[in-house]
């Protein structure tokens, strides 16, 4: 039987805890994290709490990121025309 790295990681994580690093900045308040050991993914929600990054949440974050980028682009454009 093959033992994958992530299975080994999961065992380590259950013993020592996850080691999350930022994998993606979605908005100012929402950030996605991935554990470097077991590769599991987490996200912060608008309440600032950590949630398991499910495919549904991933989709929501994707939509939020799109809106956020558009808003940033409009803001930058407005600032440029004022200056
Ligand atoms: Zn982990």
CA of 8 to the centre of ligand 1 (A): 10
Domain tally for the chain? 1
CA of 41 to the centre of ligand 1 (A): 8
Q: What does the pLDDT read at residue 3?
A: 54
pTM comes to 0.78
Question: pLDDT tens digits for 13-68?
Answer: 999 999 999 999 999 999 999 999 999 999 998 788 999 999 999 999 999 999 99
Residue 64: domain span: 5-82
CA of 9 to the centre of ligand 1 (A): 6
Closest CA to 42 of 66, 28, 24, 16: 24
């Amino acid at each position: 039987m093959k033992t994958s790295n992530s299975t080994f990681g999961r065992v380590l994580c259950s013993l020592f805890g996850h080691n999350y690093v930022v994998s993606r900045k979605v908005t100012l308040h929402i950030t996605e994290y991935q554990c470097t050991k077991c590769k599991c993914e987490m996200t912060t929600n608008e309440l600032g709490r950590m949630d398991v990054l499910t495919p549904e949440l991933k989709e929501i974050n994707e939509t939020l990121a799109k809106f956020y980028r558009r808003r940033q682009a409009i803001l930058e454009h407005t600032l440029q025309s004022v200056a």
